[in-house]
Amino acid sequence: MIDQETQALYDILLDAGADEAQLKEALEERERSGKNFRDVVLDFGFCNDSELMQLIANTLGAEIVDLLEIDIPSATLNQIDPTTARTYGVVAVKMENDLLYLAMRNPLDTTAVDDLRFILGRDFQVTMAPDEQFDEAIEKYYPLNAQDMASMFGELSQQQEEYENEDELESAANSAPVVRFVDFVIRQAIKDKASDIHFEPFEHEYRIRYRVDGALYELPPPPKVMALPITSRVKILSGLNISERRVPQDGRIQTKMNGKPVDLRVSCLPTSYGESVVLRVLDRTVVNLSLDSLGLDEALLTKFREIIHLPNGILLVTGPTGSGKTTTLYSAINEINVVGDKILTAEDPVEYDIDGIVQVPINEAVGMTFEKALRAFLRQDPDRILVGEIRDFITAQIAVEASLTGHFVFSTLHTNDAASTVTRLVDMGLEPFLICSSLVGVLSQRLLRRVCYACKTAYTPSDEELERLEITREDVAGRPFYYGKGCQICKNTGYKGRKAICEFMVMNAELSALIYNGAPTLEIQNKAISQGMRTMREDGLISIYNGETSVDEVLRYT
């Protein structure tokens, strides 16, 4: 079924001379993908953003304004409240002869226009502005405060507790208070550079938390009665079945922040008190796919660059979930992405699109596993291959075969340090001689929170801290340590941003001999250290000496 907004845009394009058959194909694509019809129109190349805006403006007789340049009086802005501005994507831009002019993100949404007339109790003139300006303008002109949050929660608490059928639940999930609240949570998370959003139901409360710089922070909890409508709203946005609450579901939300695309990967998990929902935020505007941006030691970075330019072999990046492995691998293949090499990647999921690289999403539900992808890759004449994760013996074996037949393979493993990676591969079933023949290096890493630059404070470390770090005052050599006192910029956490600490074990004849002879992990590690490998603890200590991170962060991760 075509909604009024889609039908209106369809008619505008048809009147402007667009091919009717292509428009119908675009409608079918909208149904298949669940995308907004406007985005499909742009994808199909009917016109560009500014041309489409001009077409709509001509049809509506609407003026086009620049929201970031226009000077708007406070009295005009106050004609609408922050929650209304955020819910409907509108900005009050001017008053002329007692007529209010509203810039609307979706001026073809007649339901929204009618709602606004009812809310405002007056008529108004629609104006238009570039889509990418609305988020920034609304944040600038209509920031939410505690009173607005209280008002939002008051609206949410009026929702019913039980729903007789799925239609009632869907209606609640699409109600203005729920739409407004979920939109606020997602946009605030993106603004705060959160990596994950957690919606967690408990017996007597419904908790929402953001993960920022590796740590979880709680938001003011909404009324418990809203757990089901909020979960259902997220499911609707990600194309999931709102009536299925017994099995896990995975989905995806595509949105925009300041006109730039942001992906959210959605995971729903049934629990005793409802579904736990986690959204992984993949903000393409934040990630910097450059090796220089990783904060690696200069000597280590030089060696790492040498390794990734080798013609064949296996390079592994290891660490727990959330340690930055994917960003490091993306940065590596982005650096070697040249016309002369064909690069294939198998990922679960594909997190960031890189021009010039063939990226394949893993989908085990339909049998598209890492193993199958790797086997197919070898028939695609690749030079370099990235495998998102080596999970089993067969995948490891094919990766080795690929490296031994002239390909360079990048992948990840979940291990605690560089040396234990060898033991993990042996435990998977790989023969030591195959590991020696293929492995060229292992980079093990963690992400530590940076001490906030705005409230960074120097102090002299205590004897207890030195003992826990297993160093002496002579090692410190009078250098101060630092912590963050907490300020508005870091939201009183004392930390802002993250940096990597690493250890890089580069294979050579001596290490290969130890591996071939089945040496234990500790012996391999000691040999690597004797050859110049800096451990993660040592790298962390240097970060402390440089005032980049705190004692607690280094002890937490090493």
Span 155-214, pLDDT tens digits: 655 555 566 567 777 887 887 778 878 888 888 888 888 999 999 999 989 999 999 888
CATH of 4-131, one of 3.30.70.270, 3.40.50.620, 3.30.300.160, 3.50.50.60: 3.30.300.160
- Rounded to 10°, the helix 521-530/509-516 angle is 170
pTM of the model: 0.70
Give per-residue pLDDT as tens, 211-260.
988 888 888 888 888 888 899 999 999 989 988 889 999 988 887 776 66
Residues 6+ apart with CB under 8 A from 230: 173, 178, 181, 182, 199, 206, 222
Average pLDDT, the chain: 88
Q: Could you tell me the residue ranges of all domains in the chain?
A: 4-131, 146-283, 291-448+499-536
Class in CATH terms, 291-448+499-536 = alpha beta
CB 244 within 8 A of CB 230: no
pLDDT at 285: 60
Residue burial 400-417, b: 16+ Cβ < 10 Å; e: rest: bbbbeeebbbbbbbebbb
Q: Is the pLDDT of residue 529 over 90?
A: yes
Strands of the 249-257 sheet, one edge to the other: 215-218, 206-212, 196-201, 274-283, 260-271, 249-257
Q: Alpha-carbon distance 218 to 205, whole Å?
A: 13
pLDDT at 180: 78
The single-letter code of the amino acid at 9 is L
Q: Is the pLDDT of residue 358 over 90?
A: yes
Give per-residue pLDDT as tens, 491-519.
788 998 888 999 999 999 999 999 999 99
Q: Which helix (H) or strand (E) holds 438?
A: helix 432-438
Q: Alpha-carbon distance 436 to 512, whole Å?
A: 5
Q: Do domains 4-131 and 146-283 have the same CATH topology?
A: no
Residues 6+ apart with CB under 8 A from 191: 139, 257
For residue 41, the number of C-alpha atoms closer than 13 Å in the C-beta half-sphere is 25
Q: Is the pLDDT of residue 313 over 60?
A: yes
Which of 354, 358, 308, 360 has its CA nearest to residue 334?
354
Give per-residue pLDDT as tens, 131-162.
888 878 887 888 766 555 656 666 655 555 56
Query: Which has the higher per-residue pLDDT, 390 or 171?
Result: 390
pLDDT band, residue 26 (cuts 50/70/90): confident
> What does the pLDDT average to over 300-307?
94
Q: Alpha-carbon distance 148 to 139, whole Å?
A: 14
CATH of 146-283, one of 3.30.450.90, 2.160.10.10, 3.40.50.300, 3.90.870.10: 3.30.450.90
Q: Is the pLDDT of residue 454 over 70?
A: yes
Question: What size, in residues, is the chain?
Answer: 558
**Rounded to whole angstroms, what are the CA distances from 189 to 149, 236, 268?**
15, 19, 18
Q: Alpha-carbon distance 91 to 127, whole Å?
A: 9
Q: Alpha-carbon distance 193 to 403, whole Å?
A: 37
